[in-house]
Structure 1
Amino acid sequence: MKHFLLTMAGVFAGLLLFLVGVPFLLIVLAAGASGPEPTPARTVVELDLREVITDQDSANPFASFGQPSLSVLKIVTTLRKAETDDHVRGLLVRLPEAGMEPAMADEISDSLRRFRKTGKPVIVFSQGVYPAGATPSTYMLAAAGGQVWMQPGASLQATGLVSEDIFLKRLFERYGVRAEYEQRKEFKNAVNGYLQSDYTAAHREATRSMLESIYGSALNRAAADRRQSPATLKAALESGPLMAEEALRLNLIDRVDYLDAARKQLTDRAGKDAEFRDLRDYARSQRDLKSLTGPAIAVVTAEGGIVTGGDGGANPFAAEGAIYSDLLENALRAAIEDEDVRAIVLRVNSPGGSDTASEQIRRAVEAAKAAGKPVVVSMGPYAASGGYWISSNASAIVAQPTTLTGSIGVFGGKIALGEALARVGVDLRQVGVGADYASAFSLGSGLTESQRAAFGRWMDQIYARFIGRVSEGRRLPVERVESLAKGRVWTGAQARELGLVDQIGGFYDAVDRARALSGVNQEMRLKWMASEGSPFEAFERLFGVSAASARTLAASAWVLGDPRAQALLDEMAWSRMPPGSAAVRAPAPAY
């Protein structure tokens, strides 16, 4: 009887969801599904960079169900189309106040410089740039747009670049928490916050070097766009914080005025009845009418922490992504089997993750090369540690000057809470069988001497394997790789000088490199390959609706013209490292 009641309750819940939830979803989809409006004859595209921006498009149909998220790849590919669109007469860029990732700023600024060459007017409008995030890179992005406007009374505070880290060692000691970690090697500082009370010499050296490289790159590029010497620009910025009127006097900006004045100037230049169109809306109107046959360059995207397996059980509402080794391998092998695909661009934005998942993906890259299809990696803000592992065997690597890469190293360990819990009346006890190492990663106690020795040997083996993979992929002597490794993070500019990266540039530079390596002497279309799980499976997990029914629902929405119906399931958030495992993951600087 109990089972019958539970079954009936489930049936009732399913019917309720089908009768109420599914129609609700259809209504929501239909609300914005009247189809993309055609681009007005005189259009000014508006790019608002004040929101959170990812490197790659979110594939999750649920996480950003309202307004579609904005990504760097969406921005650069859409601006590339706008360059040759006669309907587009200008561009308005809204600058973020809190800064943005340096490599993101590099990529977008490259697109702005290219767009300016068309002769179409560009205004970058700012309501202030404040010391949060990589603000020198944000100013560099503004300078790339040509005309820089600031609202009266706004402030320009791009006086330098600082990274700040939290160290918990003294707190742990006070409360009886033990951080038990092994690092390979001294520059692998992802867990230094647990182990130290201040920067180690290696940690400080690497961080300062990284900041100097990023700061210098931003100053040099901005100075070129502002037609000043780097020294002059540096002195002007560092004299801040500056009010907009002072920034104008120092030739850091071009005009102090309000947004409506900027809109009017662009409207006057664009022509009578010109309309402003948000970049995402404009992108929706630009359906690719090119032939879907013929030679192609496959684009495979990878963003987030690297984990093993597929996305089974992933939270469909999660905003943060992960790179699932099975799914990314499947995408690469689909590109291998596609007869139209002649080369592959693998876009990577990852601080790393699982060593075994990284090796699985690296092997798929090797398989593509063996099949005669060169693979060019385009690095986003991060391609470090495991992100570099999966990139190291590519035919070529293209990175922005401020991409964070390298971090060839490994760490692993645990937090032991036994003493801390005992102080508040919680006792941990254990019973076990087998070798002493079986209890190495229990929650209660720290590592014994023999356990640490065994764990250290295992870490050494993973580190040596990482070194060997980089040596093979980059065709560098093992000794050379060892000198560059030790867990140290390099910027793209530094990595280029060291031989870890082949070229400085963005996504379309990687596309051009892939085309050249393919040997095809004609224009090739981009073919975006799915590297995430199906949204229909997510729908089934959430609502108990069959995948076939979900496809029918999505097909209905597609007919109505909503591009979200074609979205794929997003990556779930990076999960914490399981006890006793190793991670090839880079630290994230806190600007």
Structure 2
Amino acid sequence: MKQFFLTLLGVFAGLMLFFVVVPFILITVAISSASSSKPATPRNAVLELDLREGLTDQTSANPFAAFGGSGLSVVQVVDVLAQAGDDSSVKALLIRLPEAGMTPAAADEVRQAVRRFRATGKPVIAHSQGFLPVGAVISSYMVGASASELWMQNTSSFQATGFSTEEIFLGRAFDRYGLQPQFEQRYEFKNAVNGYTESDFTPAHREAMTAWMTSIYDGAVANAAQDRKTTPAALRTALEAGPYSAEQALGAKLIDKIGQVEEAEAEALRRAGKGSEIISFGDYASAQGSRDGSGKSAIAIIGGEGAIMTGTGGGADPFGGGSSIQSDDLAEAIYDAIEDKDVKAIVLRVSSPGGSPDASEQILAAVRAAKAAGKPVVVSMGAYAASGGYWISSEASYIVAQPSTLTGSIGVFGGKFVMAEALGRFGVDLRGLSVGGDYADAFSPAEPFSADQRAAFSQSIDRTYDQFIARVSAGRRLPEGRVREIARGRVWTGAQAKALGLVDELGGLHEAIGAARRLAKIPDDESVRFKRFPEPKSPWEALSSVFGVQSEAARALVMLGGIMADPEVQAVTQRVQADRMRREGAVVLADRPLG
């Protein structure tokens, strides 16, 4: 009887989902599609770009991603600002700046897009409600400095006096409670595990972080100084003498005007001309769609963002924005581009701190296949292309990175936590059993590595490290000895990596497309099309990716209503990636100091 009522409840939930929720979603999508086909841009428009909610690197191909909170992406901002620059209806741009820091590489790319927009002769007004000392606030100021005018609210504080970041070290706490981390890392700069094993920065950790932070800070100050028409030394002196009130910042020539956002909007509308209106960036982007271009030759645009894992994302949450690179999916997208006769070159956008070496190698094999097919592959690096993110980039035909991209981290780590003693202090006994060889229980949390197990595991870490070095050496045409010197797990900024020969050019997606044209020998005066792989999913395809084959759809609909609302399921899905990657034994994952 209990099972009968549970089944009845499940059927009711499924019917509600099928007849209420799904139609609502599809009607919403249909209305959105219909409205986007109508002219939505007024004759005189001020485009408003709000950066306060943050940016992902890439736009999800999932039509329901917006329901999961996915907002604007860096790639979308670059694309839409290029369209707005060419659109005679768009007369001006208004930017709402975040109070805290921005991801430095994202700020680099947004600044470049703003400068290209200004080059069309259209004004840009940026408005800030303060610059707070949180994260890379100097990057937020750099974006504001790229505007024609930088405004700040009268009550706001200007506290962009430098750049800081923090690390949490659990070494002493683990010692206190008997939790034993056992890790191998190659080498001293591979700092991803230091938070578990140390109580402070090691000399190597401190050296590497100070170096890349200084590179980002110096670059942002230099860019802002260029846009503010002053010298880097003068701007640095003014910044570091803060913090300031809005009036003091104006007196120090760090901003141009003081006013409420409504006043900045009024000024932008005045600049745009009589009868002008403000249009949100999202609405304008929906109306315009992506730039597809025209012409016989095509350049494929393929993106991957997040940790690199084996498998496919076919069963992922249909309402999520996607936060991982599934090796089957990304490799398949590259092979699809190879088979497309119109595609002459591939631009691979990578924003990843790394992940599984096996997944990374699967993607790199597809990159090799593209090159063997005569289709050059240009990597455009986003916020991160480190460790496994650099592995998949290493043999590309050409690599473009932002000056503030965090890349390199050519190294490996792996290990386990021994928890038996810690659990024993709470009256919990952890015991293990195994059959087979001595290595069968090597990763058991019940016991430390034996000497033989540690030696075998160390050899596997060395093997993966040697493979990584070999790929970088072949791809970058550098002697292995030189790669070992500059590797050792160290994170570099794009600017540093270019000097070391790890990247070819500083810039973003715009520069990467230009490089792809050159390598494919497409004449400058010839139009090209952009083809995106994988192709964006339709609403039904997105739902089918969860529901499975059609014969299983009804059953999935019945179950989905209860499953999606289950807080335990939601919590488990958040832990799956981390747990799975720990089980890999050896991963090529960089620390993510900018979060």
TM-score by length of 1: 0.92
1:58-457 equivalent positions in 2, closer than 5 A: 58-65=60-67, 69-287=71-289, 294-319=296-321, 321-457=323-459
SS at match of 1:314: coil
Separation (CA, whole Å) in 1 of partners of 2:423 and 2:226: 58
Change over 3 Å in CA distance of 1:547–1:534 after alignment to 2: farther
- The alpha carbon displacement at 1:23 in A equals 2.7
Q: How does 1:45-60 map to 2 (within 5 A)?
A: 45-60=47-62
Q: Secondary structure at the match of 2:587?
A: strand
Unaligned residue ranges in structure 2 (runs of 5+):
555-572
Secondary structure of residue in 2 paired with 1:302: strand
User: Is 1:24 aligned with 2:15?
Assistant: no
State how far apart, in whole Å, the 2-side matches of 1:8 and 1:544 are. Answer: 22
- Report the alpha carbon displacement of residue 432 of structure 1 after superposing the two structures with TM: 1.4
SS of alignment partner, residue 405 of structure 1: strand
Displacement of 1:532: 8.4
Aligned pair partner of 2:528 in 506, 524, 527: 524
What secondary structure does 1:65 align onto?
A: helix
In 2, the alpha carbon distance for the partners of 1:61 and 1:452 equals 47
The residue identity in structure 2 corresponding to 1:395 is: S
Aligned-residue offset at 1:21: 2.9
Whole-Å Cα distance in 2 between the matches of residues 438 and 452 of structure 1? 13
The aligned runs of 1:456-475 (5 Å cut-off) are 456-475=458-477
Gaps of 5+ in 1: 551-569
What code does the residue aligned with 2:195 have? G
2: CA distance, partners of 1:158 / 1:427: 52
**Can you list the C-alpha shifts for 1:176-196, whole angstroms capped at 9, x where unaligned?**
000011101110000101011
AA aligned opposite 2:390: Y
Matched residue SS, 1:445: coil
Whole-angstrom CA distance in 2 between matches of 1:523 and 1:579: 48
Give the distance between the partners of 1:183 and 1:480, measured in 2 at CA.
20
Partner of 2:532, secondary structure, is: strand
| Distance of 1:209 and 1:515 partners within structure 2 | 34
Match of 1:342, SS state, is strand
| 2:461 aligned partner, one-letter code | M
Is the CA contact (8 Å cut-off) linking 2:103 and 2:594 kept in structure 1? no
1:575 and 2:565 correspond: no
Amino acid at match of 1:84: D
1:107, distance to aligned residue in structure 2 (A): 0.2
SS in 1 for 2:182: strand
- Once the two structures are TM-superposed, the CA of residue 473 in structure 1 deviates from its matched residue by 0.7
Cα distance 1:265–1:329, how it changes in 2: closer, same or farther (>3 A)? same
Residues 325 and 298 of structure 1, relative CA distance in 2, 3 Å threshold: same
| 294-303 vs 540-549, which moves further | 540-549
Residue in structure 2 matching 1:546, options 523, 547, 550: 550
Residues in 2 aligned to 1:523 and 1:215: alpha-carbon distance in whole angstroms: 38
Indicate conservation of the 8 Å contact 2:102/2:135, yes or no: yes
Question: Residues 290 and 60 (structure 1 numbering): CA distance in 2 closer, same or farther, change over 3 Å?
Answer: closer
For residues 292 and 196 of structure 2, the distance between their equivalents in structure 1, rounded to whole angstroms, comes to 54
Deviation at 1:2, TM superposition (A): 9.6
Opposite residue 546 of structure 1, the aligned amino acid is Q
Mapped partners of 1:459, 1:532: distance in 2: 38
The answer as to whether partners of 2:63 and 2:542 remain within 8 angstroms in 1 is no
Q: Is the 8 A contact 1:322 1:572 kept in 2?
A: no
Is the partner of 1:427 in helix, strand or coil?
coil
The aligned amino acid for 2:278 is F
> 1:537–1:379: structure 2 CA closer, same or farther, 3 Å change rule?
same
CA-based RMSD: 2.6
- In structure 2, relative to structure 1, the CA distance for the partners of 1:424 and 1:376 (3 Å cut) is same
Aligned residue for 1:114, secondary structure, equals: helix
1:79 and 1:572 mapped to 2: Cα distance? 37
For 1:35, what is the secondary structure of its paired residue? Answer: helix
Which secondary structure does the structure 2 equivalent of 1:575 belong to? Answer: helix
Q: CA 1:578/1:484 → structure 2, altered by over 3 Å: closer, same or farther?
A: same
DSSP-derived class of the 1:294 partner = coil
Q: Matched residue of 1:299: which SS?
A: strand
Give the match for residue 590 of structure 2: 586
Change (3 A) 1:358 1:168: same
Distance 1:518 1:548 in 2: 45
How far, CA to CA, are the matches of 2:11 and 2:486 in structure 1?
61
Give the letter aligned to residue 25 of structure 1. I
Distance (whole Å) between structure 2 residues aligned to residue 318 and residue 281 of structure 1? 21
Which of 7-16 and 435-444 deviates more?
Answer: 7-16
Equivalent pair of 1:165/1:193 in contact (CA under 8 Å): yes
Superposed displacement of residue 520, structure 1: 1.6
Give the secondary-structure state (helix, strand or coil) at the position aligned to 2:578: coil
Q: Percent identity?
A: 54
CA distance in 1, matches of 2:135, 2:119: 29
The residue type paired with residue 18 of structure 2 is F
